[in-house]
Amino acid sequence: MARKKIREYDSKRLLKENLKILAGIDLQIRVAQVTQSIDFTELTNKEPWLSSTKLVVKLDMLFGKRGKSGLVEMGGCKALITTFIVKPFVPHDKEYYLSIVSKRLGCTISFLECGGIEIEENWDKTIFLPTEKPMNLEACAPLIAKLPLREKIGDFIMGVFSIFQDLDFSFLEINPFTMVNGEPYLLDMRGEFDDTAAFKNFKKWGDIEFPLPFGRVLSPTKSFIHSLDEKTSASLKFTVLNPKGRIWTMVARGGASVIYANTVGDLGYESELDNYAEYSRAPNEDEVLQYARVVINCATTDLDRCKRAFLIGGGIANFTDVATTFNGIIRALKEKESKLKEARMHLYVCRDGPNYRTSLAKMRALGEVLEIPIEVYGPEATMIGNCKQAIDCIMSGA
């Protein structure tokens, strides 16, 4: 999915900057970001209000429901809090809610005259604006019809919407904002960007950070693969599921890899499934080599005396040259020969696609040369059969 959450600090900052430019609205909000490396003197010099007003300090770690949960540990997930947002304390009574969500055929815009944490219970004022229709006062009339500050709020909603589109937000929620001296004042805000628009918007977004969801820390392995993935037009993904599991997979294509994972799960061996890994869209030999190295490294650490199984394969390739990718995998296997033997690794290879015959033959030959058990199948076998074999292998003889 290409929807990336951004910190409240960044959402507010971008909204303030662009509202001025696009809609001539001057948002009177003030925010500062505090991280581990912050220099307080420098910060207070830049933002003098920090030392003169009463402040509110909140976590800026990409999760909502902060008021309700109030804790650092959530749903079994612990992680370090690294970033805070600081804003002036603004006493107010009236709260408003605004959210805009991008949908396939247009956008849903919700506006309510109350805000806060009980929002889910009050869903009635939502309009759907189809893609081809422009945003104007007429369109948002149903949202603000009976309000005293109709004009100001109407302008604000239209301003925020134009920024939503201009900056390629996929989701934006202001819960709540209030009116201070007759002007809108944001209290709390969440945003998500469509990161595929980065190549169009990098100037507008500036130095934006897309932090990982709370609780997800990139291990060195994952960050390496992530950087490989970024650099290529091919697709390389990797996630460790059960570090103690004994079935490892390196499967081509998103669809097939999910099915492999599914099948192992369906056969009841979820806990033995170590990782989710997929490569697709024709990575070249070198990319596959680097990728395979890392996966094999992971698969051969934490040795116990038990057998392990490695499923290499995938469905029938459309255009990825099986020979190229397999050459990369074969090179990696050769390099890691001793590690594989130490880990008592059994390999199960199943693949079809352009040049599959020579590749499978090479794999068979490799198995003989390296004296590692490698079982090789072409289209005559099913991916699922391989899963069964892998399971049988690890369950038999410890």
Partner 1 sequence: MATGQLFSKTTQALFYNYKQLPIQRMLDFDFLCGRETPSVAGIINPGSEGFQKLFFGQEEIAIPVHSAIEAACAAHPTADVFINFASFRSAAASSMAALKQPTIKVVAIIAEGVPESDTKQLIAYAKANNKVVIGPATVGGIQAGAFKIGDTAGTIDNIIHCKLYRPGSVGFVSKSGGMSNELYNTIARVTDGIYEGIAIGGDVFPGSTLSDHVLRFNNIPQVKMMVVLGELGGRDEYSLVEALKQGKINIPVVAWVSGTCARLFKSEVQFGHAGAKSGGEMESAQAKNQALRDAGAVVPTSYEAFEGAIKETFEKLVEAGKITPVKEVIPPQIPEDLNTAIKSGKVRAPTHIISTISDDRGEEPTYAGVPMSSIVEQGLGVGDVISLLWFKRSLPRYCTRFIEICIMLCADHGPCVSGAHNTIVTARAGKDLVSSLVSGLLTIGPRFGGAIDDAARYFKDAYDRNLTPYEFVESMKKKGIRVPGIGHRIKRGDNRDKRVELLQHFARANFPSVKYMEYAVQVETYTLSKANNLVLNVDGAIGSLFLDLLAGSGMFTKQEIDEVVGIGYLNGLFVLARSIGLIGHTFDQKRLKQPLYRHPWEDVLYTK
Q: Which of 76, 134, 148, 220 binds partner 1 (CB under 8 A)?
A: 76
Count, residues in the chain: 398
Cβ neighbours of residue 53 under 8 Å, at least 6 residues apart?
Answer: 88, 89
Q: Which of 121, 182, 199, 203 binds partner 1 (CB under 8 A)?
A: 199
Q: Is residue 11 part of the contact set for partner 1 (CB under 8 A)?
A: no
Binding to partner 1, residues 157-196 (CB under 8 A): 165, 168, 170-171, 173, 175, 190, 194, 196
Binding to partner 1, residues 261-280 (CB under 8 A): 261-266, 270, 273, 276, 280
DSSP, residue by residue, 206-248: -S---PPPTT----HHHHHHHHHHHHSSSEEEEEES-TT-SEE
Size of the site for partner 1 (CB under 8 A): 80
CB of 372 to partner 1, least distance (A): 25
CB of 345 to partner 1, least distance (A): 22
Q: Which of 46, 104, 146, 203 binds partner 1 (CB under 8 A)?
A: 104
Nearer to partner 1, 274 or 372 (CB): 274
Q: For residue 54, give Cα distances in angstroms to 45, 91, 170.
A: 17, 10, 33
Measured in whole angstroms, how far is the alpha carbon of residue 21 from the centre of its chain? Answer: 30
Pairing mode of beta strands 126-130, 189-194: unpaired
CB of 379 to partner 1, least distance (A): 7
Q: Is residue 315 part of the contact set for partner 1 (CB under 8 A)?
A: yes
Q: Is residue 317 part of the contact set for partner 1 (CB under 8 A)?
A: yes
CA pair distance 356, 174, nearest whole angstrom: 54
Q: Is residue 314 part of the contact set for partner 1 (CB under 8 A)?
A: yes
Q: Which of 55, 258, 365, 369 binds partner 1 (CB under 8 A)?
A: 258
Q: Is residue 15 part of the contact set for partner 1 (CB under 8 A)?
A: no
Q: Is residue 72 part of the contact set for partner 1 (CB under 8 A)?
A: no
User: Which DSSP state fits 77?
Assistant: B
Q: Is residue 290 part of the contact set for partner 1 (CB under 8 A)?
A: no
Among the listed ranges 6-14, 51-59, 257-265, 332-340, the one in contact with partner 1 (CB under 8 A) is 257-265
Q: Is residue 110 part of the contact set for partner 1 (CB under 8 A)?
A: yes
Annotate each residue in 344-363 with x if it binds partner 1 (CB under 8 A) or - if it does not, as one string.
Answer: --------xxxx-xx-----
Q: For residue 359, give Cα distances in angstroms to 87, 245, 322, 345.
A: 61, 28, 7, 20
Q: Is residue 8 part of the contact set for partner 1 (CB under 8 A)?
A: no
CA pair distance 188, 281, nearest whole angstrom: 41
Annotate each residue in 46-65 with x if it binds partner 1 (CB under 8 A) or - if it does not, as one string.
Answer: ----------------xxxx
Binding to partner 1, residues 133-152 (CB under 8 A): none
Q: Is residue 243 part of the contact set for partner 1 (CB under 8 A)?
A: no
Q: What are phi and psi of 120, to 5 degrees?
A: -60, -20
Among the listed ranges 42-50, 135-143, 302-310, 313-321, the one in contact with partner 1 (CB under 8 A) is 313-321
Cross-strand bridge partners of residue 126 = 110
Q: Which of 82, 213, 243, 303 binds partner 1 (CB under 8 A)?
A: 213
CB 7 within 8 A of CB 211: yes
Q: Which of 221, 384, 389, 395 binds partner 1 (CB under 8 A)?
A: 384
Q: Which of 106, 211, 367, 373 binds partner 1 (CB under 8 A)?
A: 106
CB 134 within 8 A of CB 116: no
Q: Is residue 197 part of the contact set for partner 1 (CB under 8 A)?
A: yes
Q: Is residue 101 part of the contact set for partner 1 (CB under 8 A)?
A: yes
CB 143 within 8 A of CB 156: no
Cα angle for residues 272, 332, 293 (degrees, 5° grid)? 60
CB of 220 to partner 1, least distance (A): 16
Q: What are phi and psi of 180, to 5 degrees?
A: -120, 120
Q: Is residue 324 part of the contact set for partner 1 (CB under 8 A)?
A: no
Give the residue among 14, 3, 1 at the shortest CA–CA distance from 203. 14
Q: For residue 21, give Cα distances in angstroms to 25, 30, 158, 166, 253.
A: 8, 17, 13, 11, 44
